[in-house]
Amino acid sequence: MSVSVSARSPQSEVTTPVPTALDQLPDIPLKVDLCPKRARQQLDFILLALEALDLGGSEALLKVGKELGLQPVIRNRVYLWRLRCSNPLRRYTHRPGLSLTEGKAMAAIACYVARRLTAQIRQLVLAHQQLQEKELPLESHFRLADYLERFRAHFRARMNPKRASVLVYQDDEKLNQLALALLQHLLFCTGTAGAQRFWISLFDGEV
Amino acid sequence: MQLQRRYSLPNCTLILQGLTDTSDSVELSQTLSILMNAECYLAGEEQPLSGGRQFLASLVEAVSHYAQALLSNIQRTKLPSQDLVRLKRLDFDHHQLVVKVEEPPSPNNQTKTQPASSESKTRLVSLTTVQFFDLVEAIDQMFADPLTLPNFLLPLSPLSKQEVVQQEPLPQRVASPALGLAGLAIATAALVSMPLPELRRPTNPAAPISAESVGDSVDPTQPDTSTSDASTPDASTPETPTDPIASEQPDFRNDLPPVPEITDRQQLLQISTQLYDEINRAWINVPIFDDSLIYRVSATQDGAIIGYRGENDAADSFVDETPLPELLYSPTSTAINQAEPIAQFRVTFKPDSILEVSPWYGYPEAGQPEPQTAPDTSSSDTSPDTSSVDNSSNSATPNSAVGSATERFPEPTDAAPEVPSVPTPDTPAIAADGSDSLAGLAASIYTEIDRRWQTVPDFEDDIVYRIQVDPAGTILAAEQVSPGSAQADRELPLLSLVQADSTATESKPFRVVFKPSGVLEVSPWDGWE
């Protein structure tokens, strides 16, 4: 007798004072209750990639926040924008930084939205891989080119061009590489333990 | 009971076969607690990767760590404990799975010499990113399944700082702090090697040239400080000032052509001031000598000291206590040939830290170009008096007393050495020319009287005399004007100076004041205008 089981753990949608959606994400033993620089940067970039993927990306982020019961943490659109502006590479950087809870909320929202776009993400990653194998230019695939173009536009509009880290991406080619790497990250975010993996990867080397 | 779990994904299928723990309660009877075999079917591979618990653990660890590395782009230094399964990145989209497969020894290979050990082969599996993600997802699903290996938990934790391979190579990282430290070291060395600020020795606040002390001349043990004419023949000829110096100092100046001497009073005054400032600034150590050191210093127009000679024994022995050796300006060969005009000055370093500078031959037009060379007097002040006379007369204030800023005070007798007295000529001063005869006359009178007034004043009020002076500078008459006693007359030298038998027709009245503080004042009776 054999039983085949294919399981997918559901996200908790019960609204409690402490959103349980964040329970799965472990607390990181940092010295200060603030997300480090790299974490803030990565969170903003992932959200940026999501917005480039889907035209309604920004709205989707907020809606998912509400669905997950993360309103106590991410109150409104402006608040989310301010949290994202804690990325040091932004043009208008928000000083106070990102608390661990807020970071968790952003990671949870990102992974939830990514999961909804799983098919699209897989398709784009596969497309890129095939283009690489056939040595075709990236513009050949319409949707991939679209994603890359939107990502570039968003990035250049929001990031401070005077910073050295941003100057690296002045070249279109480099920015495309960043976009594709983020696409790969999004692929991993769509997994069962995607949110956990993503959250913990933000603190590699910081503990 | 044998159980099987299958986690299917487009590119990967994970199948676990195992047993349930029979000691568990009924509710847990569906839980696969004991793993017997795990098989991992990957896309494009006919043979699955298979193995037992160890294989699964190794696979899970390797895959999990590699997935985290992909997400964060940070390499790990610590290798997984078991290296049955390893992952390597080939390029952006391709990853290689390296699996050590242990095969049981085949009977064909066994010989006597070869031990019956299992051969280990390495199996390489190439995966694209999507395929690898499916593998990760299969493993994650397995962990998420509460009915499978509930005690086997997903090993997820962030890398600590120690485990991380530094992204930048060590030389680059060390470069910036090393540069900073090097800069700090250089700055420290530079600051340390800078000389300590020189202490300014406490100077008399009224110590410009016009405020030189003349107190030494009052001391009764001091000889009369009038001068000898040792170099009168030289002084009268303005052409050979180098000879006296050249004859006494065996230095390069022996070969020099004669240089012109500066005789302009303004220039002399200016150079005096410069010299005084220069030497005063440089003389920072407390004098350890008991005698005054007198030097004859040659200086150029811009105040550079080009030569000096000690005039008394103390000067020669204590020359290192003075800043003169340091201030000596050694001209280059071109400068020597240019025959710059020079002037000679008398520089006195007193043991009470007082410095005096005055022209060696006195200020011209003051009527006293007689040389002031008194090599053995340790406290001759006639030339300073002359200079102070000129300074105050030039300021032309109506009631400014000539040399009024100076004070006459008794010097302690033990500090004054016994010096042979030098015969003082009673010859009057050569007449000044008519341009500022009043000032010149006043100066010459002052010098005369000052030279003769050697006693400590013991009267209490000012004693004022009205004297008549002829253009030549001789005193024709003197009468006491202040209500002093006749005793003062005996002490004061005026009467000895009076030469009543002069036949000069013109005479000017002057006012001479002897103050109990030792100050002498000479001014025209009717004012300077």
Give contacts of B4 with chain A, Cβ < 8 Å.
Answer: 2-4
Q: Taking chain A, what is the end-to-end CA distance rounded to the nearest angstrom?
A: 47
CA distance B77 to B482: 108
Cα B298 to Cα B259, B374, B519: the distances in Å are: 11, 17, 31
- Of the candidates A62, A70, A65, A77, the residue with the CA atom closest to the CA atom of residue A16: A70
Q: Residues of chain B with pLDDT > 90: what percent?
A: 11
Give contacts of A128 with chain B, Cβ < 8 Å.
Answer: 93
Give DSSP secondary structure letters for B135-175. HHHHHHHHHH-TTB-TT------PPPGGGBPPSS-HHHHHH
**Whether A203 contacts chain B with CB within 8 A:** yes
- What per-residue confidence (pLDDT) applies to A56? 81
pLDDT: is A115 or B377 the higher one? A115
- What per-residue confidence (pLDDT) applies to B155? 73
- Of the candidates B266, B286, B284, B388, the residue with the CA atom closest to the CA atom of residue B327: B284
Pick the range with the lowest mean pLDDT from A54-63, B149-158, B268-277, B303-312.
B149-158
Q: How far is A1 from chain B (nearest CA, A)?
A: 7
Give contacts of A132 with chain B, Cβ < 8 Å.
Answer: 92-93
pLDDT: is B114 or B23 the higher one? B23
What does DSSP assign to residue B134?
A: H
The tokens for B73 are 């782009």
Cβ-in-10-Å burial (0-12, 13-18, 19+) of B297 comes to buried
CB contact under 8 A, B144 and A192: yes
pLDDT over 50 at B389, yes or no: no
Q: How far is A42 from chain B (nearest CA, A)?
A: 9
Per the CB < 8 A criterion, the answer to whether B41 and B6 are in contact is: no
**Whether A28 contacts chain B with CB within 8 A:** yes
Q: Taking chain B, what is the end-to-end CA distance rounded to the nearest angstrom?
A: 138
pLDDT over 80 at B419, yes or no: no
Residues in chain B: 529
* DSSP helix/strand/coil, B96: strand
| Proportion of chain B in helix, strand, coil states, percent, rounded to 5 | 35, 20, 45
- Of the candidates A188, A198, A207, the residue with the CA atom closest to the CA atom of residue A36: A207
Query: With the CA atoms of B153, B159, B165 and B168 taken in that order, what torsion angle do they form, in degrees rounded to the nearest 10?
Result: 140
Residues 6+ apart with CB under 8 A from A164: none
pLDDT over 50 at B370, yes or no: no
Q: How far is B132 from chain A (nearest CA, A)?
A: 10
* DSSP helix/strand/coil, B342: strand
Identity of the residue in B93, B140, B158 whose CB atom sits nearest the CB atom of A191: B140
Name beta bridge partners: B305: B299, B328
- Across residues B440-449, what is the average pLDDT? 86
Tell me which amino acid residue B346 is. R
Give contacts of A194 with chain B, Cβ < 8 Å.
Answer: 140
Pick the range with the lowest mean pLDDT from A98-112, B271-285, B326-340, B399-413.
B399-413
CA distance B526 to B523: 9
CA distance B384 to B213: 8
Q: How far is A190 from chain B (nearest CA, A)?
A: 9
pLDDT over 90 at A131, yes or no: yes
CA distance A65 to A81: 13
Per the CB < 8 A criterion, the answer to whether B67 and A197 are in contact is: yes
CB contact under 8 A, B144 and A9: yes
Identity of the residue in A3, A42, A204 whose CB atom sits nearest the CB atom of B68: A204
The tokens for A55 are 């035209």
Helix H or strand E encompassing B191: helix B170-193
Identity of the residue in A2, A6, A185 whose CB atom sits nearest the CB atom of B7: A6
**Whether B145 contacts chain A with CB within 8 A:** yes
CB contact under 8 A, B145 and A7: yes
CA distance B83 to B80: 6
CA distance B17 to B38: 6
The tokens for B297 are 């210093």
Tell me which amino acid residue B204 is. N
Helix H or strand E encompassing A64: helix A57-67
The tokens for B376 are 């053995």
**Whether B159 contacts chain A with CB within 8 A:** yes
Name beta bridge partners: B40: B14, B49
Pick the range with the lowest mean pLDDT from A9-23, B239-253, B272-286, B478-492.
B239-253
CB contact under 8 A, B71 and A3: no
Select, from the ranges B95-104, B269-278, B330-339, the one with the highest average predicted confidence (pLDDT).
Answer: B269-278
Minimal Cα distance from A177: which residue of B? B92
CA distance B257 to B426: 36
pLDDT over 60 at B436, yes or no: yes
CB contact under 8 A, A201 and B158: yes
Select, from the ranges A163-167, B17-21, B226-230, B286-290, the one with the highest average predicted confidence (pLDDT).
Answer: A163-167
Residue whose pair of structure tokens reads 């804690």 in the numeric block: A86
pLDDT over 70 at B428, yes or no: no
Residue whose pair of structure tokens reads 């600051």 in the numeric block: B191
Name beta bridge partners: A42: none
Average pLDDT, chain A: 86
- Its pTM surpasses 0.95: no
pLDDT over 50 at A199, yes or no: yes
**Whether A201 contacts chain B with CB within 8 A:** yes
- What per-residue confidence (pLDDT) applies to B391? 46
Identity of the residue in B5, B128, B141 whose CB atom sits nearest the CB atom of A192: B141
Average pLDDT, chain B: 73
Chain-centre distance for alpha carbon B503: 67
